[in-house]
């Protein structure tokens, strides 16, 4: 079956240019338009009926693609959903949420039928099948998070590499030489969760550069017994750990602080503690801890703004990535390590 990619190759233009010719969303030089039309006729390509019907008009609807799995933290996910909706409404846009079990097929159906002007991606994976889909669908995709196969989409994300480097540097500056990173559940790494993988690698690489011994553990459960076992096993094997970085949740972190206390270790007196990828609420723990929060209001606003700019025909190149510097909230939970 002839697709939009075939027409683009025959005409010698980008897929987005072919899409603009048939949707009318952006004015093009007459010569460019003629080349695309000629290539389409030669290949007997016919754009979908929705695109023909909507030529020259917008639907003022964005699709928000976010597969919800067992390990999805709904409290965090909902913030990203609502922040996207709030920003889209400022432009007079509605948001169609796609979060079903077969969300990929539904996304393809919605785009090909011409129901939406663009797609926002959440829950991005390192190699994301939806990013590959964007190349042949010819509709602008903006990801909150950026996959490695990002050549056909636009991306906005927190700079998790910088976050990891800064977190390690803060501990190194206070004299810490052996640290523990507690990540999310193992299934998130197996599925290729973008920011968790980038963050773990950044932490590990920076620790190696700074001569710091780095230990990693998955979140094996949030209840007191699971967390207590994790702390006991790790500290029994590595008693010189003097700092914990955690990308879990409030319950898990609070149980970690309690478990340390049962071992006679206080935060921050004996063990420093930094929360990663929370919602700015790590001050609600038994001991308020320093934090590098997720920034849903900033990332979602930037993603919607970028989408609107692309739809308005402003100059953007697919593969463009905007990285937002991480914020550090200092609450005094990192202490100087004496040797």
Give 295's DSSP letter.
Answer: -
d(CA 51, CA 173): 57
How far is residue 269 from each of residues 232, 243, 281, 286, 338, measured CA to CA in Å?
18, 10, 21, 14, 11
How far, in whole angstroms, is CA 229 from its chain's centroid? Answer: 31
Q: Please, what CATH class does the domain formed by 4-51 belong to? A: mainly alpha
Q: Do 324 and 298 contact (CB within 8 A), yes or no? A: yes
Buried/exposed 304-324: b ≥16 CB within 10 Å, e otherwise? bbbbbebbeeeebebeeebee
pLDDT of residue 53: 40
Q: Do 158 and 326 contact (CB within 8 A), yes or no? A: yes
Q: H-helix or E-strand containing 178?
A: strand 178-182
Q: Please, what CATH class does the domain formed by 160-292 belong to? A: alpha beta
Every domain range in the chain assigned CATH 3.40.50.2300 = 58-158+296-324, 160-292
pLDDT of residue 108: 84
Give 256's DSSP letter.
Answer: H
Give 125's DSSP letter.
Answer: B
The residue to which tokens 């206080």 are assigned:
266
Q: Structure tokens of 114?
A: 């011409």
Residues forming a β-bridge with 214: 179
pLDDT of residue 167: 98
pLDDT of residue 71: 54
For the stretch 281-286, contacts whose Cβ atoms lie closer than 8 Å and that sit 24 or more positions apart, written own/partner, are: 281/250, 282/250, 282/253, 282/329, 282/331, 283/329, 283/331, 284/250, 285/250, 285/253, 285/254, 285/257, 286/254, 286/257, 286/258
How far is residue 135 from each of residues 54, 109, 153, 269, measured CA to CA in Å?
21, 15, 8, 53
Identify the three-state secondary structure at position 285.
coil
Residues forming a β-bridge with 217: 182
**Of 1.20.120.450, 3.40.50.1000, 3.30.230.10, 3.40.50.2300, which CATH number belongs to 58-158+296-324?**
3.40.50.2300
d(CA 153, CA 88): 19
Would you write out the chain's pLDDT as a tens digit for each of its 339 residues? 677 788 889 999 887 788 777 765 566 776 888 888 888 888 877 665 444 444 446 789 999 998 665 555 566 778 899 999 999 999 999 999 988 655 677 888 888 777 899 999 998 999 988 888 887 777 899 999 989 999 999 999 999 999 999 999 999 999 999 999 999 999 989 988 889 999 999 999 999 999 999 999 999 999 999 999 999 999 999 999 999 999 999 999 999 999 999 999 999 999 999 999 988 999 999 999 999 999 999 999 999 999 999 988 888 888 999 999 999 999 999 999 876
d(CA 49, CA 259): 61
Q: Structure tokens of 192?
A: 């290729």
pLDDT of residue 158: 96
- Helix residue spans in 30-99 (DSSP H): 30-43, 49-53, 74-90
pLDDT of residue 1: 62
pLDDT of residue 107: 86
The answer, as to whether pTM is greater than 0.95, is no
Q: What is the dihedral of CA 324, 299, 122, 192, to 10 degrees?
A: 20
User: Which residues make Cβ contacts (< 8 Å) with residue 74, sequence separation at least 6?
Assistant: 68
Q: Do 18 and 10 contact (CB within 8 A), yes or no? A: no
pLDDT of residue 175: 97
pLDDT of residue 216: 98
One-character DSSP codes across 86-114: HHHHHTT-EEEEE-STTHHHHHHHHHHTT
């Amino acid at each position: 079956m002839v697709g939009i990619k075939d027409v683009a190759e025959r005409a010698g233009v980008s897929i987005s240019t072919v899409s603009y010719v048939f949707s009318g969303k952006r004015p093009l030089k007459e010569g460019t338009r003629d080349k695309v039309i000629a290539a389409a006729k030669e290949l007997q390509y016919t754009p979908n009926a929705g695109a023909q019907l909507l030529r020259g008009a917008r639907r003022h609807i964005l699709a928000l693609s976010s597969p919800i799995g067992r390990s999805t933290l709904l409290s965090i996910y909902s913030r990203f959903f609502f922040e996207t909706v709030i920003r889209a409404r400022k432009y007079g846009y509605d948001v169609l949420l796609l979060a079903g079990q077969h969300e990929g097929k539904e996304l393809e159906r919605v785009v090909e039928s011409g129901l939406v002007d663009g797609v926002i991606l959440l829950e991005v994976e390192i190699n994301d099948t939806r990013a590959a889909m964007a190349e042949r669908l010819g509709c602008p995709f903006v990801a909150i998070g950026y996959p490695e196969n990002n050549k056909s989409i636009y991306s906005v994300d927190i700079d998790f590499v910088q976050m990891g480097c800064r977190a390690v540097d803060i501990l190194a500056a206070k004299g810490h030489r052996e640290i523990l990173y507690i990540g999310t559940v193992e299934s998130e790494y197996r599925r290729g969760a973008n920011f968790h993988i980038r963050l773990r690698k950044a932490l590990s690489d920076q620790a190696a550069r700074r001569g710091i011994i780095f230990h990693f553990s998955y979140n094996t459960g949030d209840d007191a017994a699971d967390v207590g076992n994790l702390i006991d096993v790790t500290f029994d094997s590595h008693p010189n750990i003097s700092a914990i970085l955690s990308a879990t949740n409030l319950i898990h972190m609070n149980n970690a602080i309690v478990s340390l206390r049962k071992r006679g270790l206080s935060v921050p007196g004996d063990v420093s503690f930094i929360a990663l990828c929370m919602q700015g609420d790590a001050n609600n723990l038994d001991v308020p801890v320093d934090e590098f929060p997720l920034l849903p209001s900033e990332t979602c606003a930037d993603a919607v703004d970028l989408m609107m700019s692309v739809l308005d025909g402003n100059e953007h190149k697919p593969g463009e990535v905007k990285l937002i510097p991480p914020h550090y909230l200092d609450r005094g939970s990192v202490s100087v390590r004496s040797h």
